[in-house]
Chains A and B, each alone.
Chain A
């Protein structure tokens, strides 16, 4: 398919911009004026719409079909939420509007904070972080501020992370200026408590843990882990990536965690948008509240809502304004549609995952044979050993059956990993069709492995060469073919 730049013809345009009469001539000082215009596409409006409509048909979303991408919680995104964010009172509200002109927005944010505090079992919430990974970084900044305030920041330099963690956890640790301590996983898929005991002491600042873990397993040693960390005076950080498993069932605050980030785009249905936006609010215990980012959203005695900028112990700001407001509208709407029935949402997510696991576990390898939570990790290592078919091949072949593949090759401790998260919003018929496809692929691997190796067969493109892309990166259109004059221009300008 052509790029929009390859459909461009000089002199075409989709826009017309008003220019009232009688205005002064627009003036820019000579040395600051743009010399060469940017080569943006020149297309009429209908070509624009056709181009992006065609692109959309070459993409697969939750609206297209089953999308069991592990750890990403690809659930249905209710359409009413898309209508609600376009209400002029939300979409056209300027973030510098005075408080008395933004009472509806502030009340929505405050109510969302209250709901998130209840769901996480913690005391105070900041909505500001833009996504889960920024929530992590913000949480680690809170850890640092807390220990600075206690005079222990020089001594507490280490953050403990299990080997099953998302890559964001160690990356956030580095960006926050902390040192990493790795801890292993035991034979049942829990944190190895014996390994842990020797690694936690007065130099430890915090634990970062996803529970249920990226293996989809609830850590059976969590009570002991809590005693170890709090006994050493360290804090506990909960990566809320997998919160969809436990809403209304078990709360991170009740598990002993002091800081939690919530992925609004996972558990609370902000559409993933092809990669974003997300939302990564953090909830904390009361002793960490003074350090939350500024401003905080507050409720006043007179029933009004406001922003509190006067926070002497704050870590500062982590993004602009109060956070991604449109995400808050959608997630607030989603949670109001469930109310206390959020528990049913999590129960359905866990039931669906266990059902698919039960149907597939004989055909694929399973490293930890337990009941799972909202997701589970299979391995294609026997398929690879016996038939040369890898997790990648299984993933590509699933496309031919009309399903988005699971997350593959993660977590790192499972070879040939296939990480499957069905979420709650699927019919049993869909789950069965997916299981049938996975079983059929396991048979195909034995009978005609080339079907897997050459997959996908039914997508707009065949298997793409990622190595080639990285070896000689072409990350923008070159214009040379479309515009021979530009081809002669000096390179690297």
Chain B
């Protein structure tokens, strides 16, 4: 019987083989040496029907404890923000979902215009001049920015603050040897980075990378850090949902602004697929990695959009390309555009203010009701903050989860001396009642 995803009948096959001039499908593979053929069936479980498949995957999904089954204060780079229904509606349009990179612009004006609109939104958010069409995630776009900085400055070190997301630092370090770059880390002092210390480290460096808000949720003195970069390119790794309330990196002198787009319009999805955004000042436009869409006109003089500046890219420039990226994260970036359109400027500010207010409220309640201590009491935070829970945070997480609450991320996984520290994230989805529940649970298991 024909597989549901295939179409050729026996009669079709016979006629096609006749046209080709061979006697069997087997003969089509005659160029493959006999010793390299599998010669047996693939050792895989038998094919499932769609109904059986749905049951199987449903069973696997049910063995995950997701944020609808457990009250979650997990963040650490991926956040449980609300994703509106309009995002799902747009992404399920097959014309977007099942198209590929718009190499043929006349077939792809929908994707091209949406990328142009996305680029505009990212430039507006970050205060930059040019955005690409997306990178894989917040980690890899940071590595991409290091490649830009290496070639723009000809220098061989990049400085990254220790208060930057540990996974971002790990990915930068993985890429760096191939780029011929060394990575220097600058420690945090009481939850934020000391501009003077950063200034010293930045001497002779290609770039300085910091995160705002940083991995501890604290607000860095971002304009001072950007200024401390000196001749090195200041690169800000930012939370898109903070940019309704926090200043745009382009307004305080950054050369490049980038980050993880998940919080804006994507579900957590166990880590992906999401999108990384990357925007820069005009002078870096020809060093940007990946796709960029530009405006043009057709032969009738009507406005339209095309992939542009392709001489930067691997399919033209090959070994001299600004990156090897081809497939990017266009669909997830489209989700980002739809989400930012849904928010509008006022909605973006509202989300930011609700996060700020709820997080401040949570800090207060945790101190009052659970008696936990803030690790960085003097710092202003956005939607995330670190608390000491009196004993190993991983044990606290285990015990709290027994009570149906995931209280946050164990910072001891990445930072020495923080085994008893939890990073607590509070998005606009959390309610005061849920926050009280967290306080009660931490009061019970936190010491």
Contact = CB atoms under 8 A, between A and B. Distances in A.
A476 B123 contact: yes
A317 B248 contact: no
Contacts of A463: 106, 298-299
A23 B342 contact: no
Contacts of A385: none
B135 to A, nearest CB: 9
Interface in B368-406: 380, 397-398, 401, 406
Contact of B316 (A36, A52, A167, A343): A167
A171 B167 contact: no
A473 B272 CA distance: 32
B334 to A, nearest CB: 7
A201 interface: no
A51 to B, nearest CB: 8
A456 B298 CA distance: 11
Nearest to B340: A40
A386 to B, nearest CB: 24
Contact of A89 (B16, B60, B90): B60
A17 interface: yes
A429 B398 CA distance: 59
A40 B63 contact: no
B64 A321 contact: no
B331 A274 contact: yes
Interface in A341-376: 341-345, 347-348, 350-352, 354-355, 357-359, 370-371, 373
A48 interface: yes
Question: Which of A52, A276, A337 has most B Cβ within 10 Å?
Answer: A276
Interface in B125-149: 125, 127, 129-131, 133-134, 136-140, 147
Contacts of B99: 59-62, 67, 272-274
B154 interface: no
B97 A271 contact: yes
Give the contact-size bracket for chain B: 35 or more
Question: Which of B36, B58, B129, B267 has most A Cβ within 10 Å?
Answer: B36
Given A40-B340, A276-B327, A350-B28, 10 more contacts: A28-B246, A41-B340, A63-B95, A90-B66, A92-B80, A118-B43, A119-B42, A140-B178, A461-B105, A462-B302
A448 interface: no
A31 interface: yes
A414 interface: no
A293 B174 CA distance: 9
A140 B334 CA distance: 31
Q: Considering the complex of A and B, which 8 residue pairs feature the smallest CB-CB distances, nearest first?
A: A321-B271, A273-B331, A63-B94, A89-B61, A59-B110, A316-B174, A275-B330, A95-B271
Contact of A82 (B19, B92, B360): B92
Contacts, number: 721
A89 B63 CA distance: 7
7 contacts: A17-B350, A101-B65, A133-B327, A166-B326, A171-B318, A347-B28, A464-B298
A355 B16 contact: yes
A15 B3 contact: no
A107 B246 contact: no
Interface string A461-473: 1111110111001
A55 B93 CA distance: 10
A399 interface: yes
Interface string B215-243: 00001011100000000000000000001
Question: Which of A97, A132, A338 has most B Cβ within 10 Å?
Answer: A97
B347 A167 contact: no
B268 A93 contact: yes
B109 A461 contact: yes
B133 A26 contact: no
Interface in A17-53: 17-20, 22-29, 31-43, 45, 48-49, 51-53
A222 interface: yes
A493 interface: yes
A7 B47 CA distance: 49
B357 A102 contact: no
Given A27-B356, A52-B338, A410 B315 contact: yes
A426 interface: yes
B126 to A, nearest CB: 9
A214 to B, nearest CB: 11
A254 interface: yes
A343 B41 contact: yes
Contacts of A177: 177-180
B418 interface: no
A94 interface: yes
Interface stretch (A229-237, A281-289, A323-331, A437-445): A323-331
Contacts of B32: 218, 246, 249-250
Contacts of B156: none
Nearest to A15: B347
Interface stretch (B197-205, B306-314, B437-445): B306-314
Given A33-B247, A255-B36, A473 B309 contact: yes
B227 to A, nearest CB: 12
